[in-house]
Structure 1
């Protein structure tokens, strides 16, 4: 189990919000951490893909090419 020390201002906000919503502080922290890690992972893996694109190690296609691949009309053919 992980234990953390929160700054008093964050702890106070957490307590107030828990009381206001009727949820436990633990549940709120778990949910907040889950959302934060989702965002952090998205950023991390997106940065890795961008670097591979810059290094020429990742294939990219234009929106027009993708539309053709999917059998859709491209933006320019409207």
Structure 2
């Protein structure tokens, strides 16, 4: 069964680390309501639109990554 977001879960914002299925990604932009992602480990400019933003899971927010020294 596929999980979908509840109204209490925060929507991803630019800079957040998310999971799209099993793929770790970073939110790079939100254009016209479309969330754009890039690989969390770099990827040389590779970017794609999220297939279903409701299925993205926020692993760490940008603020959490800054706090932990990862950014």
Same fold (TM over 0.5): no
Q: Which of the pair is proportionally richer in helix?
A: 1
* TM superposition score normalised by structure 1: 0.23
Q: Which of the pair is proportionally richer in strand?
A: 2
Larger radius of gyration: 1
